[in-house]
A and B are shown apart, each in its own frame.
Chain A
Amino acid sequence: MENNISLTLKVWRQNGPKDKGRFETYKLDKVSTDSSFLEMMDILNEQLVNEGKEPVAFDHDCREGICGMCSLYINGRPHGPDDDVTTCQLHMRKFKDGETITIEPWRSAGFPVIKDLIVNRNAFDTIIAAGGYTSVSTGGVPDANAIPIPKVDADEAMDAASCIGCGACVATCKNGSAMLFVSAKVSHLALLPQGKVEAARRAKNMVAKMDELGFGNCTNTGACEVECPKGVSISNIARLNREFLKAKLAD
């Protein structure tokens, strides 16, 4: 049975990085509750194009929750009211008929708005380029028991590696801190033997780059973990603190 809802959308519109920006209100009738949030945005844009208006610019790519492109701060939460999903996997059944939905871009000094709902997340790439890699190729997937790795470490590394770099952690953090992102990237490599070799250098360089780019200081509120679509744990932040302090003390 198809279920349709009508919505009022308050959408942030901003022509460019220098523009002041403002909210525009749009009415949308008969949105299927089976459609995803981004499909709803597509319907809105189609309506805008048909009216001869400029469509709303927003980031999206794979639409299956693994690429990290989609963003959107919806009704006070990054990736909207559902838990542990990205905006592309949020469905309209999470909203009520007649509801007003406020849609904003990520807001943080580290993520300046490019246009409408799209922000510049190059800072994350710059942090990765500062050390989020292994310097030599470690080959393809090794044979199962070639390098013994404790199950706990393998699981924690995999959990940390599930970070898709969407930036929800920074968007929700009262301090605009990127610690959850950086800690996930440092952790998934530091936990495995291939990444351990460069662990100290990696922690120092990535933290230095994070600070240089103007992200805030973590105060352990834990909001990032709650809003992370992949449920990346702040235990990784403790690990990053440990790795960083160890590396600095060894110098």
Chain B
Amino acid sequence: MSTIFGSSIGRKLLMSLSGLFLVTFLIVHLSINLLLLVPDGGETFNIAANFMALPLIKYGLQPVLFGGFIIHIIYASILTLQNNKARGNAKYASGNNTKDVMWASKNMYVLGITVTAFLVVHIVDFFVPLQITHGAASVTYDGVEMHNTYALVNAALSEAWRVALYVVGSLGLTIHLTHGFWSAFQTLGFSNNIWRKRWTVIGIAFAWIIGLGFAAIAILQFAFYQ
């Protein structure tokens, strides 16, 4: 066991598991975001989003989530550096004409940087005022005081440039997932000639549902909820 993470497959196992963990986070995140579309002035969304203020979530699950991101990013960097070294300094003068290779699969690190850049903006926009500075306004439902998360989101998504940025970020994530999803199962060994095709189809469908879901909610907020 001691040397498993010292091996190439062990390092990839960490990428795979942290990636799948972040996928489950995306599912939870999108599910709650969908409540932004409930036309009740944000009450349903605010109450759902308030679960983030629970001590168990804030002090228990959030550090785990951050750990997931950090492992995924650090190991992506380590693996990319090692792979560049293994590729060697001499480049092919005639380039690479191999067909049938998914573009995303060759650009996962670049796509990851795009997603990370978006993530930083996203954290500054929402996580900081809601979880750290508590600068967001408050609202009370049935005697329970909580952040008016809806108002914060709604105000942020009233600006066209930010909506555009969020759409681009969502698309970057989509393309990252079109390769990442099936690749995670391949790395775990849960794949063969039949399941590889299945995971690829499921992964691409999943990627577009997640990506278009986030993008559509941002656009709808901008267009119809102001």
A residues lining the B interface (CB < 8 Å) = 10, 12, 23, 73-77, 81, 102, 104, 107-110, 113, 172-177, 207-208, 210-211, 214-223, 226-227, 233-235, 237-246, 248-249, 251
Contact = CB atoms under 8 A, between A and B. Distances in A.
B94 A244 contact: no
Contacts of A214: 85-86
Nearest to B85: A109
B192 A176 contact: no
A104 B102 CA distance: 25
A245 B8 CA distance: 11
A107 B91 CA distance: 7
Nearest to B109: A219
Contacts of B183: 219-220
B86 A76 contact: no
B188 A220 contact: no
29 contacts: A73-B92, A75-B94, A76-B92, A76-B95, A76-B98, A77-B96, A77-B98, A109-B85, A109-B87, A174-B87, A176-B87, A177-B83, A211-B7, A216-B87, A217-B12, A217-B79, A217-B83, A219-B83, A220-B183, A220-B186, A221-B102, A226-B98, A233-B193, A235-B191, A238-B190, A238-B196, A241-B9, A245-B13, A249-B4
A218 B93 CA distance: 23
A172 B96 contact: yes
Contacts, number: 150
B74 to A, nearest CB: 14
Contacts of A107: 87-88, 90-92
Contacts of A74: 94
Contacts of B179: 220
Contact of A251 (B1, B82, B98, B187): B1
B46 to A, nearest CB: 41
B154 to A, nearest CB: 40
A76 B83 contact: no
B87 A241 contact: no
A175 B87 CA distance: 5
Interface residues of B, number: 45
Interface of B: 1, 3-4, 7-13, 79, 82-83, 85-88, 90-102, 105-106, 108, 179, 182-183, 186-193, 196
B189 A242 contact: yes
Contacts of B192: 235, 238-239
Given A174-B87, A238-B196, 17 more contacts: A73-B94, A104-B94, A174-B106, A211-B7, A218-B8, A218-B12, A226-B98, A235-B196, A238-B189, A238-B190, A240-B9, A241-B9, A241-B186, A242-B189, A242-B190, A244-B9, A245-B188
Contacts of A174: 83, 87, 96, 106
Q: Which 10 A-B pairs have the closest CB atoms?
A: A242-B189, A216-B86, A76-B97, A176-B86, A175-B83, A238-B191, A102-B94, A109-B88, A216-B83, A241-B189
B103 to A, nearest CB: 10
Given A102-B94, A177-B83, A177-B86, A219 B108 contact: yes
- Give the most central of B10, B79, B82: most A CB within 10 Å: B82
Contacts of A226: 98-101
A251 B3 CA distance: 10
A141 to B, nearest CB: 27
A240 B9 CA distance: 9
A108 B98 CA distance: 16
